[in-house]
Amino acid sequence: MSTATDLRVRAARATLEQRLFARPEVRLVDIARERPAGVVVLRVHLAAGADDRALGIPEEVDGIPVRIVPGNHRPS
């Protein structure tokens, strides 16, 4: 990933975090590469049973796709 792309992805992650972290259902927002294509995505980890539709999570932020990861992930 180029420096410019890296900065854009990190800025998109920060935007998404600001929008969602006030919600207790949101556990983590991270950056990942989807396989096999290697597309960079933002992942929103939610508490088990959380309704992602009610949270208004966007499909993309600044052109970076957003994926929902259900479960109960808690950052260490």
Model pLDDT for residues 10-62, shown as the tens digit of each residue:
999 999 999 999 999 999 999 999 988 889 999 999 999 998 889 999 999 99
What are the residues facing 69 on neighbouring strands? 45
Flag whether 75 is in a domain: no
Q: 39: part of which helix (H) or strand (E)?
A: strand 39-46
Specify if 18 maps to a domain: yes
In a domain, 37, yes or no: yes
pLDDT digits (tens, 9 = 90+) for 57-73: 999 999 999 999 998 66
Q: Is residue 12 part of a domain?
A: yes
**Omega before 36 within 30 of 0, i.e. cis:** yes
Alpha carbon 38 to chain centroid, angstroms: 16
Split into its structural domains, the chain has a count of 1
How many Å apart are CA 29 and CA 11, to the nearest integer? Answer: 12
pLDDT score, position 1: 61
- Domain span including residue 63: 3-69
* Per-residue pLDDT at 4: 87
Q: 40 forms bridges with which residues in the sheet? A: 33
